[in-house]
Structure 1
Amino acid sequence: MAVLSRILKSYIVQPGKQVALDTAFIAKKLIRSVGKAAWIAGTSFIVLYVPLFMVTDREQQINDLESQQAALLGTGPARPALN
């Protein structure tokens, strides 16, 4: 056991241990930062784009319904008004 403790305290092992500790510390900070960025991106997507997708889907459903009604009545599809 004394040999092992001397090896662990040697001038060769100490810098390696310090590098490992520093690397672990930096990795933790990096993971935390990536997690925060992912949270911000995810919530921004939900707030900004989901309502847009819902409106686009609703418009598509209305257009489909109008096309079906026009087909049943025998008239051509309604043309959008040009301004």
Structure 2
Amino acid sequence: MATNKRTGAGKSGGRDSSILAKIANHEIANKGRRAACDAVYVSKKLLRSTGKAAWIVGTSFLILVVPLLIQAERDQMLGEIELQQASILGPPPPGALQ
């Protein structure tokens, strides 16, 4: 009975695991893993700082711009109320102070 050795047989071949171990432990593979870990680390820090910057911008917008928008809306509403009152009451008398 002849034994059948295949090179692509996985663990049964025995040689595949040692070749894969050599490749996985090679210096180039280690450098690639380190580069990938460094890229992930930098990406996380970039996302975190970008999130902080977005929070600062949003908070600044709320503090600085929203009160101005509210004041503009309030002025517009007062102008509309004055126009409604003027149309109801009629024009002021000619000698009245404005």
- Kindly report which structure 2 residues correspond to 1:3-82, keeping only aligned pairs within 5 A, or say none: 3-75=19-91
The structure richer in helix per residue is 1
**Structure 1 counterpart of 2:7:** none
Letter in 1 for 2:77: Q
SS at match of 2:65: helix
SS at match of 2:26: coil
The runs of 4+ residues in structure 1 deviating greater than 4 Å are: none
Percent sequence identity is 43
Whole-Å Cα distance in 2 between the matches of residues 34 and 22 of structure 1? 18
CA drift at 1:42: 0.8
Greater relative contact order structure (CA < 8 Å, 6+ sep): 1
Whole-Å Cα distance in 2 between the matches of residues 70 and 32 of structure 1? 56
- Structure ID, larger Rg: 2
Whole-Å Cα distance in 2 between the matches of residues 44 and 31 of structure 1? 20
Whole-Å Cα distance in 1 between the matches of residues 21 and 54 of structure 2? 44
CA drift at 1:65: 0.6
TM-score computed with the length of structure 2 as normaliser: 0.69
Q: Which runs of 5+ in 1 are unaligned?
A: none
RMSD: 1.8
